[in-house]
């Protein structure tokens, strides 16, 4: 009798948890602001285009920002919050500063939206829209963004180190960090393709050039000619922390599959890039993506939508920040 009761209670709890997770995702919907702020997505896209016209690095910056937002506390806009005298926020962690950029695009979009429809559009949704628009203007990959996220009020720099994949991640570490967010290995390989645009500061990868391990100075998995090029850009002993190199030298401002081609040629910039060849399954996917841009585009769009659902705040959770840099 008691065992039957316990079984029923456990079953009830499992169903309740599943329903909660589904509720969080299904409360996001395409066209969420259709009635309350119909120009929302247009305004965000306009600001992304304006920012991109001034600085093409804005697009990869916004894609990266959305990724870093979703992997820490979920897609709640916490990466946008400024530090205070009593709290160091996510954006000022070593994982985000100085690599993240494009904050001014979010600020400008938010200011216009507050003028158009005050207190309606969340900063988390603005960032999700901006990332989608950045993908589209750099590679033509378009997708609908489900909206309805609300903004978090907590941003802690130290949480980035346990949630964001560092560029030194090996295969198992990378797989686990993505799995922690409900993302598969296939989605890990797909989303890593965002490294086809953007840049990196030298300290993020120079260990592969000068201090790989106790017996080898240079990572043997790195193409020797590419390594020499990187050494010229980031010389040992004289590395300027502000020096940047393109993550994909072939087409650094175009969303395409050359990232995967580079990996197949041992020209992945980070350990976390080249490690995608560590298993037969992921290596096969790298090859598929390299040879089929349309397939990768479809996969990437779907993976971005799924990533945008990670631990979202909806309904009466969180808030709608009036200024994306500070909580209400």
Residue carrying the six token digits 């080898």: 216
Distance, in Å, from the CA atom of 244 to the CA atom of 222, rounded to the nearest integer, reads 19
Task: State yes or no: 172 annotated in a binding site.
Answer: no
Question: Which residues, 6 or more positions from 159, have their beta carbon under 8 angstroms from its beta carbon?
Answer: 72, 73, 90
Question: Which residues, 6 or more positions from 303, have their beta carbon under 8 angstroms from its beta carbon?
Answer: 183, 187, 190, 191
From 79, 78, 92, 77, select the one nearest 126 (Cα to Cα). Answer: 77
Task: State yes or no: 196 annotated in a binding site.
Answer: yes
From 49, 61, 143, select the one nearest 97 (Cα to Cα). Answer: 61
Task: State yes or no: 46 annotated in a binding site.
Answer: no
CB 11 within 8 A of CB 81: no
Task: State yes or no: 66 annotated in a binding site.
Answer: no
Question: Which residues, 6 or more positions from 281, have their beta carbon under 8 angstroms from its beta carbon?
Answer: 185
Task: State yes or no: 72 annotated in a binding site.
Answer: yes
Q: Rounded to the nearest 5°, which phi and psi values hold at 213? A: -155, -170
Q: Which helix (H) or strand (E) holds 91?
A: none
Task: State yes or no: 195 annotated in a binding site.
Answer: yes
Q: Which residues are catalytic?
A: 68
Task: State yes or no: 105 annotated in a binding site.
Answer: no
Distance, in Å, from the CA atom of 59 to the CA atom of 130, rounded to the nearest integer, reads 8
Task: State yes or no: 51 annotated in a binding site.
Answer: no
- Show binding-site residues for substrate: 165
Binding-site residue numbers for Ca(2+) are 69, 72, 74, 76, 78, 90, 196, 256
Report the binding-site residues: 69, 72, 74, 76, 78, 90, 165, 195-196, 256
């Amino acid at each position: 009798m008691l065992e039957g009761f316990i079984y029923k209670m456990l079953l009830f709890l499992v169903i309740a948890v599943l329903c909660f997770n589904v509720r969080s995702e299904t409360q996001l919907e395409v066209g969420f602001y259709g009635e309350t702020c119909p120009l929302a997505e247009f305004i965000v896209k306009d600001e992304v285009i304006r920012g991109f016209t001034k600085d093409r690095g804005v697009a990869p910056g916004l894609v990266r920002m959305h990724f870093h937002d979703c992997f820490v506390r979920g897609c709640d806009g916490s990466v946008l919050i400024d530090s205070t005298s009593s709290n160091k926020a996510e954006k000022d962690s070593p994982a985000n500063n100085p690599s993240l950029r494009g904050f001014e695009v979010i600020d400008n979009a938010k200011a216009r939206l507050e003028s158009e429809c005050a207190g309606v559009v969340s900063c988390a949704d603005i960032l999700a829209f901006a990332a989608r628009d950045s993908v589209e203007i750099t590679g033509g990959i378009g997708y609908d963004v489900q909206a309805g996220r609300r903004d978090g009020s907590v941003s802690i720099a130290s949480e980035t180190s346990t949630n964001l994949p560092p560029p030194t991640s090996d295969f198992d570490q990378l797989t686990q960090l993505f799995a922690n967010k409900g993302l598969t290995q296939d989605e890990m390989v797909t989303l890593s393709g965002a490294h086809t645009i953007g840049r990196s500061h030298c300290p993020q990868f120079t260990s592969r050039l000068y201090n790989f391990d106790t017996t080898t100075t240079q990572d043997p998995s790195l193409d020797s000619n590419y390594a020499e090029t990187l050494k010229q850009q980031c010389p040992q002993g004289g590395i300027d922390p502000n020096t940047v190199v393109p993550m994909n030298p072939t087409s650094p401002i175009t969303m395409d599959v050359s990232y995967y081609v580079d990996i197949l040629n041992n020209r992945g910039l980070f350990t976390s890039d080249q490690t995608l060849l560590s298993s037969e399954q992921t290596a096969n996917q790298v090859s598929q993506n390299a040879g089929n841009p349309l397939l990768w585009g479809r996969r990437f769009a779907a993976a971005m939508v799924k990533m945008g659902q990670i631990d979202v705040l909806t309904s009466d959770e969180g808030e709608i920040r009036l200024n994306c840099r500070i909580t209400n």
